[in-house]
Chain A
Amino acid sequence: MSVLETAVSVDGLVKTYGKVTAVDGVDLDIYAGEIFGLLGPNGAGKSTTIETLVGLRTPGGGQVRVLGLDPGDDRAGLREMVTIQPQEAAMFPTQTVTETLRLWAALHTGSRAPEEIMRALDLDGSRDVQVRRLSGGQRQRLLVATAMISRPRLMILDEPSTGLDPNARDALWEAIRDCRASGSTVLLSTHAMEEAHALCDRLAIVDHGKVVACGAPDDLIRKHAPYQEITFTSGAAERWDDLSDLPGVSHVATEPAGGGTRVAVQTSEPDTVLRAVLTGRDGVRDVQTHDGGLGAVFRALTGRTFD
């Protein structure tokens, strides 16, 4: 069995602002070379946790070690090895994309060429555009690019896909995977289930300043939401209450949809439900089967949704 090197270790982290507790005893171990996600709704404490790791915020309690260093005492040492794309940050407004990246490349030794990072994040077309004239999505990618350009040992991205269209988001995901492939550890926060599932090797689900679950996305789904959701549309007159009596069914929901009824069945025995739905009933259409995903995990653990 290989021994995993710990890149980030957080033990009982607490942070309060007046009477508000933003982070309430967070424990995390992030291993070198993985993409680790903090998944949770807005206000869950993700940004505060992340910014504490680079010394932008001072912990109110608990211990934090990043690449073996204390971010409070060894901030200067960490700046060489850790980069961050914070949510609240701004670059020089009248500098172009190229000029901005040239500056950030100069700030670190062994940086990638600005052209290379622009290609990776699809910023080629706006290389000569000033920051103040970039769209929100372009500015977000440039901010991520400033974190990526130095080949950091640990790269921290706070909601990196905010404001990105699907194409830009795909390019971002690919660039993040490339960073992992070249040896970086990546910590990112997100409130997008799809992003967390597609990108993260492991993740921690955060709610009200606490980690409520931690593990690989599929393991979390198997453990906390081990059922399938079957959805279909039927004729308006059809009644589906009897599905609740089938073995393994935990929930049946119906709602009017396009002159018929859209039915969602949660079950641990999808074959039984599919047989019951498709046998002897007319007009059933758009049948889909999928697992509950990380959204179901969050619901199972907190009793709430955050979409």
Chain B
Amino acid sequence: MPTSIFRELALVQTREMFRDLKTLFLSVLYPFVILAIFMFVGAVTPKSPGGPNIQALSIAMTLFLCVGSFGFFGLAVPLVAMRERGTLRLLSTTPLRRATLLASQVPGRAAVAAGQIVVIVAIGLGMGAVTLANVAMLLAACLLGLVLFASLGYLVGGRAPSSESTSTVTAIGLVVLMFAGGLVFPLSGLPAAVGAVARFLPTTYLGDMLRHAALGTPAQYAPLLGVGVVLAYAAVFAAIAVRTFRWDAGERA
């Protein structure tokens, strides 16, 4: 990969994230707004005996949304916006390679996501919601989440034609995946049909790891199984994304 092209493009992509208010909010501030809402809801909800630690659950949910928004709002939506505007079409006439383009999105956004994860975990520690012993496991689960959602983000961003609809659909999809995967409520408490489908979703295994690491409750799946499923899905999503990626939105008269 030519270093100077990668460097210049990575700088461009990072500046794009920080200079546009909407992108800045979705990429940088969104998880903290969500965390504040979760914490507020947790604070005003009467505690039920035997219920989960709401603060720890809030940390797990926020981390899930954080790694999800890295893939969807950090990678997919900007990629779709570039296609929509015609920037990718213009770049396709230059020697820029597809791999360089996609890789250039990562440094700035991954740095932001890593910073967000560290701050969220630190907040959890500060509030006593997360124990020091579980931090390594929590960070490892987040790393897996970043890999999974990066591949999913490239899969979605590689073809979708409209940044508005991508933004809306992925925002809703992310919340649905969070609930359907048993992160908020254990799978045993969800309808059987949801549970049956959820077992085939990689986000279910990711959610299980986050819940286990944050709340300290027993994991539903063996750690190695979870890691294997998430990485396998990530590899499949990435392979499909590479094959289906499009520089432009198709030929028009």
On chain B, the residues within 8 Å of A91 by CB distance are 87, 90
Question: What CA separation (Å) do A20 and B251 show in the bound complex?
Answer: 13
Cβ of B90 and Cβ of A17 under 8 Å apart? no
Q: What's the nearest-Cβ distance from chain A to residue B181, in Å?
A: 35
On chain B, the residues within 8 Å of A108 by CB distance are 94-95
CB < 8 Å neighbour of B5 from A76, A99, A107: A107
Cβ of B90 and Cβ of A107 under 8 Å apart? no
A181 lies within 8 A of chain B by Cβ: no
Cβ of A107 and Cβ of B95 under 8 Å apart? yes
**Chain B interface secondary structure, helix, strand, loop or mixed?**
helix
In the complex, the number of residue pairs spanning A and B with C-beta atoms less than 8 Å apart equals 77
Question: What CA separation (Å) do A18 and B2 show in the bound complex?
Answer: 41
Interface size class of A (residues with CB under 8 A): 20 to 34
Q: What's the nearest-Cβ distance from chain A to residue B232, in Å?
A: 32
On chain A, the residues within 8 Å of B90 by CB distance are 86, 89-91, 146
Cβ of B15 and Cβ of A102 under 8 Å apart? no
A92 lies within 8 A of chain B by Cβ: yes
Indicate the member of A48, A56, A92 with the most B CB atoms within 10 Å.
A92
On chain B, the residues within 8 Å of A57 by CB distance are 251
Within 8 A of A (CB), among B231-253: 248, 251-253
Question: What CA separation (Å) do A95 and B16 show in the bound complex?
Answer: 7
A94 lies within 8 A of chain B by Cβ: yes
Question: What CA separation (Å) do A277 and B82 show in the bound complex?
Answer: 62
Known pairs A103-B9, A103-B12; A130 contacts B93 (CB<8 A): no
CB < 8 Å neighbour of B94 from A79, A92, A94: A79
On chain B, the residues within 8 Å of A18 by CB distance are 253
A104 lies within 8 A of chain B by Cβ: yes
Q: What's the nearest-Cβ distance from chain A to residue B242, in Å?
A: 16
The 10 closest A-B pairs by CB, nearest first: A94-B19, A17-B253, A90-B85, A89-B90, A106-B8, A107-B94, A90-B86, A106-B4, A79-B95, A103-B8
> Which residue numbers of A lie inside 8 Å of B, CB to CB?
17-18, 20, 22, 48, 54-58, 76, 79-80, 82-84, 86, 88-95, 99, 102-104, 106-108, 130, 146
23 contacts between A and B (CB under 8 A): A17-B251, A54-B93, A55-B93, A56-B89, A56-B93, A57-B251, A79-B93, A80-B95, A84-B93, A86-B89, A88-B89, A89-B87, A89-B89, A92-B12, A92-B82, A92-B87, A94-B15, A94-B16, A95-B16, A99-B12, A103-B9, A106-B5, A107-B91
